[in-house]
Structure 1
Amino acid sequence: RHNDSNLLSLGARFLSKELALRAVDLWLRTSFDGGRHERRLKKIKDMEEQA
């Protein structure tokens, strides 16, 4: 929601299959808020382009 991520990491030892599936479903349905968070993403993109 805040960082427009395309990676989700879940701990198999700590989550049941049902809870993991709920977390994935929520993650997939959550859209990027944009707004003030876009500035931080631009900083990251600029650093990636300089590397």
Structure 2
Amino acid sequence: MATWKNTSNDIVRCPKCNFTFSKQYSRVVSCQSCPMATASCTMVKCPRCQEEFYP
């Protein structure tokens, strides 16, 4: 299992459902099928409700 280093600027809260998660987790779980995931996308996608937002 991977160990993730969370820093205070890595943790975000979804404005829609208030779920708290790390940006790294979001990129691995929610962004894997997105074509912008390999580009320099600055948005974050909530793993719970799929809301996309700017952190």
TM superposition score normalised by structure 1? 0.24
Relative to its length, the structure with more strand (as a share) is 2
* Structure 2 length-normalised TM: 0.23
Bigger Cα Rg: 1
Q: Flag the structure with more relative contact order, 1 or 2, with Cα contacts below 8 A and sequence separation at least 6.
A: 1
Structure with bigger helix share is 1
